[in-house]
Amino acid sequence: MENDIELEFVTDYHCIVNTNNIRSGNIGAILLHNFACIIDTTTYLITAKKFREKIEKKFKLPIKFLIYTHYHGDHIFGASAFRDLAIISSKQTLRNLTSVETLKSIEEWKNNLIKEDSFAKGIEIVLPSICFLDKLLIKDEGLEIEINHCGGHTSGSTYVYFPKEKVIYTGDLIFEDIYPYAGDPTCNPDVWITQLEKIQNMDIEKIVPGHGPILEKRELNKHIIFFKSLRALVREAIRKNLPIDTMIPPDFFEFEADIWKPIAVEYWYNFYRRQK
């Protein structure tokens, strides 16, 4: 059920996630020796609170940091559950959250959700307090978390890597069991594909996507193939001067495909047409 919270172990101990809120994004945690870090919040304050309570109760560790993988509301609207923490994001994510254009869009999303969704009580935008340009390390007695700004899905997108257990939290660079949302105004398809290829070459075993269940490393290739297929499709349509409504996008996952398929095709078509 949406907004239920279970702690799923990505590995034997350090890496935790909840993935059963597919519409509102995953929420994760990395447990270090002396404290824990949270990764994203889901859309809802209620799920963020439940996740925090379960982490604190089960592991008896204080939570020190909240990390935003990007600025979309389904990953940050529950942040008031962590208001007492230091909140980390890339500098570009802060720019996204404070620019006139994106702030208007995300405020409209938030206000509509509060009106329409009974679970949305208490959601709000909480700005990050620690911002980094390219890379930030969190260290604790020999354990290390790497937070890397990469762009792609949004201009501020980041991934969180825990080398000790070869786990990466990708945010919305990866959607599993759900058609990817690929129409953000700051999205760069070429950067997105390049970053997925870089991740494929990293020393990882488990991948925690922004939406959907945990993946094995070998499963990443299907995502790369999908995005390359979409890119080839729109480039060929532009080369042949075909109208956008004649294009049949490649299949991926069917959940919400009727909503996000045309958004992806339209944005990528316009992106590459501008480059022509």
Give the sheet arrangement for strand 8-9, strand by strand: 8-9, 15-18, 27-31, 36-39, 63-67, 86-90, 130-132
Per-residue burial over 81-93, b = 16 or more CB atoms within 10 Å of its CB, e = otherwise:
bbeebebbbbebb
Residue 225 makes CB contacts below 8 A (sequence gap 6+) with none
pLDDT in tens, 232-242: 999 999 999 99
pLDDT of residue 251 exceeding 80, the answer is no
pLDDT of residue 177 exceeding 80, the answer is yes
* End-to-end CA gap in the chain: 46
The amino acid that residue 177 corresponds to is D
pTM: 0.95
- At 24 the pLDDT is 86
Q: Do the beta carbons of residue 127 and residue 109 sit within 8 Å?
A: no
Q: Which fold has domain 8-219?
A: Metallo-beta-lactamase; Chain A (3.60.15)
Domain ranges of the chain: 8-219
Q: Do the beta carbons of residue 237 and residue 246 sit within 8 Å?
A: yes
Q: CA gyration radius for the chain?
A: 18
In whole numbers, what is the pLDDT of the chain averaged over residues? 93
d(CA 102, CA 107) in angstroms, rounded, equals 8
- At 4 the pLDDT is 67
pLDDT of residue 2 exceeding 60, the answer is no
Residue 222 makes CB contacts below 8 A (sequence gap 6+) with none
User: Above pLDDT 90, what percent of the chain?
Assistant: 80
- At 1 the pLDDT is 38
pLDDT in tens, 132-167: 999 999 999 999 999 999 999 999 999 999 999 999
- At 139 the pLDDT is 98
